[in-house]
Amino acid sequence: MNKKKIINDPVYGFISIPNDLAFDLIEHPYFQRLRYIKQLGMTHLVYPGALHTRFHHALGAMHLMSLAIETLRYKGQQITQAEEEAVTVAILLHDIGHGPFSHALEQAIIEGVWHEDISVMLMNELNKQFDGRLAMAIEIFNGTYHKNFLHQLVSSQLDMDRLDYLNRDSFFTGVSEGVISSDRIIKMLNVVDDHIVVEEKGIYSIEKFLIARRLMYWQVYLHKTVIAGEQLLSKILKRAKELALTREELFCTPALNHFLVNTINNQLFMTEGDNLETFAGLDDTDIMAAVKIWAGSKDFVLAQLCRDLVHRNLYHADITNEMPDEAFVNELTQKAVKKYGINEYEASYFVFTDEVRNNAYKTGDGSILILMKNGTVKDITAASDNSNLEALKKTVKKYILCYDKRLMQ
């Protein structure tokens, strides 16, 4: 079989699959599943074009990794063919553990298990199936390989993951503030003392990258209507699980049913083999098929929430710097109780508070380092004369109040 394929990517144009192992992994069912998991969860409810998938993103990150390796070799870094293959596989599979709707349902299906943990488990399983050929890739992914800079290309504050998703999410949402000069950033990469650095002449591209990331968080990832959609979907899964645990029969696929009727924590997920294989059968279609059927459920709360999602009747969401007024929240809760004839607990599905945090840049381990012309290395915030970068180091915390819009009618 000819495994030297090219793919027409809307962001980069024609990209190549770099080696036979990458081709075989892309063909594997675990990876093909990513075609059916949207990169941005419920963001398409705000930006209709945001229907790209984790599959797109993984291929894009793989392409950027190939460019980065080419650049570093050109600058004299010794990277073997085996290391190139391994780091390419590591970035290709970095998101393979994502569940349906990506981050929106990260803790709704299995509590205490993050997609990075599942990615490692799936990579270990693939390593068995591919006779140990992923061993070095797993070491690089976990940060245990002796060349730390390869891990930084996969996971850091300036990795191929972030370089791809900012441009890709910007492209598909139409939000131009997220566009970054990924080509220029990659051309400016180098390695000093086993750390990825950016040459000084690329400093303005890095400033743009950090500011773009901050803007994309507030304008796209943490947009109040996106949050409303994701919260609604999360509440649906929470209610469905409550009902399933009381042995109420709910229509759903076998894979989704497994996680609804069983309480599976971190330890159980990690130790029971069928959990991983069952999870690898879940994607967005499992959830949406269930939601459409549950809209006719006998349970009022589940049915109402599902109808609201299907018809895009989302929560009203207020995002503020101060905690929501407790009296107002109580007033809304009582309105829900009265309007729908439900108890206060059930009303918490229609009125609730939460919080979000955004940290565009963290100093310390994994900092973005600038290689100055005099040979010294500085953190980007010290190397730049842009005072706005200091503000990016602060964690911004905001409070959310979500409530059913009908309560104000």
Q: What is the DSSP string of 258-274?
A: HHHHS---HHHHHH-HH
The partner residues of 227 in beta bridges, in order of sequence, read none
Q: Which residues contact 80 (CB under 8 A, 6 or more apart)?
A: none
Question: What pLDDT does 2 receive?
Answer: 78
The partner residues of 353 in beta bridges, in order of sequence, read 401
Question: What pLDDT does 114 receive?
Answer: 85
**In this structure, is the dihedral angle defined by the CA atoms of residues 222, 223, 228 and 233, taken in order, positive or negative?**
negative
Query: Could you give the CA distance from residue 266 to residue 222 in angstroms, rounded to a whole number?
Result: 27
Judge contact between 41 and 101, C-beta under 8 A.
yes
Q: Which residues contact 3 (CB under 8 A, 6 or more apart)?
A: 17, 20, 23, 24
* One-letter amino acid for residue 29 of the chain: P
The DSSP 8-state label assigned to residue 220 in this structure reads I
Question: What pLDDT does 360 receive?
Answer: 81
Question: What pLDDT does 365 receive?
Answer: 65
Strands (E), 100-233: 189-192, 195-199
**Cα–Cα distances in Å, from 30 out to 3, 125, 159, 278, 361?**
19, 10, 23, 11, 32
The partner residues of 189 in beta bridges, in order of sequence, read 198
Helices (H), 17-79: 20-27, 29-32, 54-74
Q: Where are the domains of the chain?
A: 6-221, 224-357+400-408
Q: Determine whether domain 6-221 maps to CATH 1.10.3210.10.
A: yes
Of 96, 88, 90, nearest in space to 67 by CA:
88
Token representation of residue 235 = 């509440």
Rg (CA), the chain: 23
Query: Could you give the CA distance from residue 258 to residue 177 in angstroms, rounded to a whole number?
Result: 41
With 0.85 as the threshold, say if the pTM is over it: yes
Class of domain 224-357+400-408: mainly alpha
Per-residue pLDDT of the chain (409 residues; tens, 9 = 90+): 778 899 999 999 999 999 999 999 999 999 999 999 999 999 999 999 999 999 999 999 999 999 999 999 999 999 999 999 999 999 999 999 999 998 877 778 888 788 889 999 999 999 999 999 999 999 999 999 999 999 999 999 999 999 999 999 999 999 999 999 999 999 999 999 999 999 999 999 999 999 999 999 999 999 999 999 999 999 999 999 999 999 888 999 999 999 999 888 778 888 877 899 999 999 999 999 999 999 999 999 999 999 999 999 999 999 999 999 999 999 999 999 999 999 999 999 999 999 998 888 887 767 899 999 999 999 998 898 887 787 788 888 999 999 999 999 7
Query: Could you give the CA distance from residue 190 to residue 388 in angstroms, rounded to a whole number?
Result: 25
Of 212, 199, 215, nearest in space to 167 by CA:
212
